[in-house]
Amino acid sequence: MSIPDQEYNREDELKAFDDSKAGVKGLLDAGIKNVPKIFIRPPEELVEELNTIMSDLQVPVIDLGATETENQRKKIVDQLGQASEEWGFFQVVNHGIPVSVLDEMISSIRLFHEQDVEMKKELYSRDRLRKVRYESNLDLYRSTSANWRDTLNISMVISDIEAQELPQVCRDGVFEYINHVSKLGEHLFEFLSEALGLAPDYLGSRMECGRGRHIVCHYYPPCPEPELTIGSTKHTDPAFITILLQDHIGGLQVLHQNQWIDVQPIPAALIVNIGDFLQILSNDKFRSVKHRVIANDIGPRISAACFFMGGVVPPKIYGPIKELGYERNPSRYKDFVVTDYVAKFHSVPLELSGVHLFKL
């Protein structure tokens, strides 16, 4: 039975959900049959959804495996550059991370989220300075509707993480994946530097774009009424790049030419997207585009997104790269430090990109 509007207090329901520390999975474990009101998207958003064009286009798939010759490497660089300019998204195969490591990461995330709720509650927090924390909905109190998703956060923005700092139930699999995905990030920054016409070490060693990292291990439980809610609100990423591992269920969609594109799961592939910071550094040559995750009545869907955040401590100043030539393409953005950008990102609803706040 629905609650009459005059008796409904959204703040109270948000607080009750937050105080439970059990997340969305806790609601299902309690036996709910309908989506609680805090998760239901506004009517105007649902109407807009009916008019949104879906497309069967696919994001580019790039094989990173063949780099023995100069021509092979140039082909990869060209493909990555074109995908970064036209899509802001691509999938990579033959990326060097063993399938066993990917599978173990998915299994480890599932183990964490499906363990006894009392164990998870010990890590529940909204303190973004904590290196390891569990939460549901990053912007719970700022959003117009909550997302159907729980998250284990692992922050390596200020310093690297030691294995013993990770939850024991998922420690080995997560730690090994972190090591592998960090190395992949280094290689991608080399390719992307060359795609911008810069030296291979420019984005990595010189600009330290891969130094700070943050991994979010998402768990999207099956939803009894997926048409009413969303797994993750449309947004762009406050990072240089994001490397995403998703399981076989799918649900990730990218906004391309005003059409939502399903990013179909490819076995052993990883998804890479350009973040806000790299759009600014490239002076709009590379694009940070909106993406979302739809809710599903099957699941759970499991994913891990590694955000490469750059130099945070000590703070490094970032801005459009002068070597790209302002005579032809004047700077479009102000310089920024990562902490200022992230603070602005966390002060507004998730669907509002922070890029416009730094435009000249």
d(CA 116, CA 131): 21
- Per the DSSP assignment, residues forming a β-bridge with 56 are none
Q: Under CATH, which architecture does the 12-358 domain have?
A: Sandwich (2.60)
Residue range 279-296, pLDDT digits in tens: 999 999 999 999 999 999
How many C-alpha atoms does 286 have within 13 Å on its Cβ side?
A: 34
Q: What is the pLDDT of residue 2?
A: 47
Whether the link from the prior residue into 43 is cis, omega within 30° of 0, is: no
Q: At what angle do helices 70-86 and 171-195 cross, to 10 degrees?
A: 90
d(CA 156, CA 214): 6
Q: What is the pLDDT of residue 1?
A: 40
Q: At what angle do helices 171-195 and 99-114 cross, to 10 degrees?
A: 130
Residue keyed to tokens 């997104």 = 305
d(CA 259, CA 38): 27
The DSSP call for residue 359 is B
With b for 16 or more beta-carbon neighbours within 10 A and e for fewer, the 175-213 pattern comes to bbbbebbbebbebbbbbbbbbbebebebbbbebbbbbbb
Structure tokens belonging to residue 15: 């607080």
Q: What is the pLDDT of residue 114?
A: 98
3-state secondary structure of 149: coil
d(CA 110, CA 13): 27
User: pTM above 0.85?
Assistant: yes
Residue type, 264: Q
Residue range 183-212, pLDDT digits in tens: 999 999 999 999 999 999 999 999 999 999
Q: What is the pLDDT of residue 52?
A: 72
Residue type, 167: P
Q: What is the pLDDT of residue 305?
A: 98
Tens-level pLDDT at each residue, the chain (360 residues): 444 555 789 999 999 999 999 999 999 999 999 999 999 999 988 887 766 777 889 999 999 998 878 999 999 999 999 999 999 999 999 999 999 999 999 999 999 999 999 999 999 999 988 999 999 999 999 899 999 999 999 999 999 999 999 999 999 999 999 999 999 999 999 999 999 999 999 999 999 999 999 999 999 999 999 999 999 999 999 999 999 999 999 999 999 998 999 999 999 999 999 999 999 999 999 999 999 999 999 999 999 999 999 999 889 999 999 999 766 778 999 999 999 999 888 777 777 778 888 998
Q: What is the pLDDT of residue 50?
A: 66
With b for 16 or more beta-carbon neighbours within 10 A and e for fewer, the 96-135 pattern comes to ebeeeebebbbebbbebbeeebeebeebbeeeeeebebbb
- Per the DSSP assignment, residues forming a β-bridge with 267 are none
